[in-house]
């Protein structure tokens, strides 16, 4: 697969980077990413993934655009209020670059439906705002052998981690948070408030890490950083990184030797 001349021009600033190059750009064009949660994290992440020329995107969100979303959910405008987020996101994407293939899913993701929702993708980027969904997505990723970028933000604290729990030596998201939150629905955003640009920082950093994972096979940016959790502090501001080890007893990713 090669890139047509108009695509070469579109991605010229990528292609001149030694860490991307023509081969890397082709790898991005071949990639299929599922975005789960098209909110404060998913909106800017979608903009940078689409800008990066990710060839196929699956957009997953069961919510509707509300007026209070517009302060941080950058793909929506006033006219989208009251319309479905997945449909509105697809419209944004079609306006931005009609060469990108898009599928949408406006059903709520739960443990029963997560696997079907992510079938065939190369990477899942989860920016949803509750633990039950995030754990269901993590378990589905492990079962399907799909890497997961999990991103979250609350007030001025954000976190972005890359998980490859399907691999024997790497943690999954459940290794990190445990089982206690399966029944929780912690939508702290509505209660606690959120500075719009903070969500944007986390979403764009998640997009950077997604590109890092997708380019890892092509040399690219090197290490996909499995099991590394980056903590973003918007008040200091600062970033720090911690390592998440595989939990041998984790019911999401333990090896079944029976
Ligand atoms: Zn695990």
DSSP 222: S
Greatest CA separation for the chain: 55
- Which residue among the candidates 141, 175, 189, 250 is catalytic per the annotation? 189
Q: 175: CA distance to ligand 1 center in Å?
A: 4
* Contact call for residues 177 and 252 (beta carbons, < 8 A): no
How far separated are the first and last CA of the chain, in Å rounded?
43
Q: 208: CA distance to ligand 1 center in Å?
A: 24
Q: 166: CA distance to ligand 1 center in Å?
A: 9
Q: Which residues contact 20 (CB under 8 A, 6 or more apart)?
A: 14, 28, 215, 220
Q: 247: CA distance to ligand 1 center in Å?
A: 6
Q: 144: CA distance to ligand 1 center in Å?
A: 14
Digits of tens for pLDDT over the chain (258 positions)?
A: 567 778 999 999 999 999 999 999 999 999 999 999 999 999 999 999 999 999 999 999 999 999 999 999 999 999 999 999 999 999 999 999 999 999 999 999 999 999 999 999 999 999 998 899 999 999 999 999 999 999 999 999 999 999 999 999 999 999 999 887 665 544 545 567 889 999 999 999 999 999 999 999 777 788 999 999 999 999 999 999 999 999 999 999 987 654
CB neighbours (10 Å) of residue 50? 21
**pLDDT of the residue at 1:** 56
**pLDDT of the residue at 86:** 98
Does 250 qualify as catalytic in the annotation?
no
**pLDDT of the residue at 190:** 57
Q: Which residues contact 241 (CB under 8 A, 6 or more apart)?
A: 228, 229, 230, 231
* Contact call for residues 126 and 135 (beta carbons, < 8 A): no
> CA–CA separation, 142 vs 6, rounded Å?
38
**pLDDT of the residue at 182:** 65
**Cα–chain center distance at 4:** 27
Model pTM score: 0.95
**pLDDT of the residue at 50:** 98
């Amino acid at each position: 697969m090669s890139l047509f001349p108009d695509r070469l021009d579109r991605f010229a600033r990528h292609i001149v980077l030694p860490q991307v190059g023509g081969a890397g750009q082709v790898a991005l064009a071949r990639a299929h990413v599922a975005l789960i949660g098209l909110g404060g994290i998913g909106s800017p992440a979608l903009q940078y993934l689409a800008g990066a020329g990710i060839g196929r995107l699956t957009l997953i969100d069961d919510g509707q655009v509300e007026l209070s979303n517009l302060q941080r959910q950058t793909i929506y405008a006033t006219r989208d209020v009251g319309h479905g987020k997945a449909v509105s996101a697809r419209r944004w994407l079609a306006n931005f670059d009609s060469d990108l293939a898009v599928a949408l899913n406006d059903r709520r993701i739960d443990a029963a439906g997560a696997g079907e929702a992510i079938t065939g993708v190369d990477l899942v980027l989860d920016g949803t705002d509750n633990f039950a969904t995030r754990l269901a997505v993590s378990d589905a990723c492990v079962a399907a052998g799909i890497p997961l970028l999990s991103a979250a933000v609350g007030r001025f604290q954000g976190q972005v981690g890359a998980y490859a729990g399907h691999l024997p030596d790497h943690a999954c998201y459940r290794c990190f948070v445990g089982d206690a939150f399966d029944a929780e629905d912690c939508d702290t955003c509505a209660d606690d408030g959120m500075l719009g640009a903070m969500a944007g920082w986390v979403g764009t950093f998640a997009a950077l890490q997604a590109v890092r994972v997708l380019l890892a096979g092509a040399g690219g940016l090197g290490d996909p950083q499995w099991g590394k959790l980056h903590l973003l502090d918007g008040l200091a501001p600062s970033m720090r990184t911690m390592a998440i080890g595989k939990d041998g007893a984790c019911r999401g990713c333990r090896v079944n030797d029976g």
